[in-house]
A and B are shown apart, each in its own frame.
Chain A
Amino acid sequence: MSDQLVGATGERVFTATIEKDQRIEPRDWMPDAYRKTMIRQIAQHAHSEIIGMQPEGAWITRAPSLRRKAILLAKVQDEAGHGLYLYSAAETLGADRGDLTRRLIEGRQKYSSIFNYPTLTFADVGVIGWLVDGAAICNQVPLCRSSYGPYARAMIRICKEESFHQRQGYELLMTMMRGTEGQREMVQDAVNRWWWPSLMMFGPPDTESPNTAQSMAWKIKRHTNDELRQRFVDMSVPQAEALGVTLPDPDLRWNGVREHYDFGEIDWSELKRVISGDGPMNAERIAHRRRADEEGAWVRDAAAAHAAKKRRDGGAVDAPEDVRGPAAETMAEKRHGGVAHSAGGERHGGAVFSAGEEREGA
């Protein structure tokens, strides 16, 4: 069959699969533009999770109690995990993990604008959980039905875990609101600083979002930016009331006709500025990521050298037998020689996030 014919058949199957609301899987034929869009979106999402470890990670050593420290550690570890689920999904499209990290560090791929704001007090940790993770949940729940299978499956895992993130944040804020006047002021101040950037997380307004129509047609996205933003506002207002804080928007009020909250105009010039690299923390976030990558390089090299040496020494244990037999569950305790495989091949990027680095980032 000619390539053209394969393409024509492939396109028909692809379109029919999308129309039937079924998932596209890695080895299916897909339009180049679909593949490119998916890689860009998944990579950007993965980068956001990894960069997103920093604002809260900064508070782990200064958490006010052992309980809060343990919670924060678990949360930041989750963010690392989310990044890795997503890089894993991107790799099914032929992207290379090491290459994606390089693109992030060199500023050729973006991450969510929200992580370019500083975390000034411990109340920021709570507000990030409540508002930033709340906005992320709004964005991500529909992505569990995204048309690309590995992405949708990663999102299901992520959404399950995000719920803990949001609730721990809200609980932290409730605790502070029951505290001193100074603590209540800290919460209100954090809300004032994070509310508008949280609304910007949904991206530009629909009128200025050129990719939305195509992404909706491909069922990558299920709702427009403005629909999701409205949903988030409607969810957040009663939560703010229950907490006893005010949201910093004089135009925020219930509209009985629309049956939604109206809200004020977002400062889109700020979003543009932050996205294009000129937010308060852009340079520091990337510098930190670059440093973690560089300082972790010797660990990755050493692990690879160790694995190569074990292969050379011809470790005796035969992996397939292990998997078949009852010993499979104790594999971790055995020394593994494994079979000498070439480390080449198109899907072999460098694993950028060593265990050591996750700890460091956390």
Chain B
Amino acid sequence: MSGEIKHEWPLFEVFVRAKRGLNHVHVGSLRAADHEMALHHARDLYTRRNEGVSIWVVRSDDVVASGPDEKDAFFAPSGDKVYRHPTYYAIPDSVPHI
């Protein structure tokens, strides 16, 4: 081999909007030298069959994520607030459109 495989192309996360009116959704990752190349590669890799009308690429390093270990501390507080849901409130059936 001529030499070591170089390690300078960073990882990007790719998000695709499937069509107007929908959110961008994460579809995977890829390697590219910069954002512009990442967009082009994302176009070639993730939208070969009209899967999207818009693409975001984000440096993987820039993504901050909650960890699975924090699940309870992070998400449990929303579990005991049943009054945030419409079904918590008893309304007589005779009342229309509510």
Contacts and interface: CB of A to CB of B under 8 A. Distances in A.
A226 B91 CA distance: 59
Contacts of B53: 329
| A contact residues, range | 35 or more
B30 interface: yes
B9 interface: yes
A154 B29 CA distance: 11
A343 B44 contact: no
Interface residues of B, number: 38
A145 interface: no
A59 interface: no
A64 B25 CA distance: 40
B17 to A, nearest CB: 9
Contact of B40 (A29, A301, A355): A355
Contact of B5 (A28, A98, A306): A98
Interface in A278-296: 290, 293-294
Interface string B1-34: 1110111111100000000000000001111111
Contacts of B1: 102, 105, 290, 294
A328 interface: yes
A300 B9 contact: yes
B52 to A, nearest CB: 11
A348 B3 CA distance: 18
28 contacts: A27-B67, A77-B44, A77-B48, A81-B48, A84-B45, A161-B49, A290-B1, A297-B5, A301-B6, A303-B37, A307-B33, A323-B56, A323-B58, A329-B54, A331-B35, A331-B39, A338-B34, A343-B8, A343-B10, A347-B11, A348-B10, A348-B11, A349-B7, A350-B6, A350-B8, A351-B32, A351-B33, A352-B5
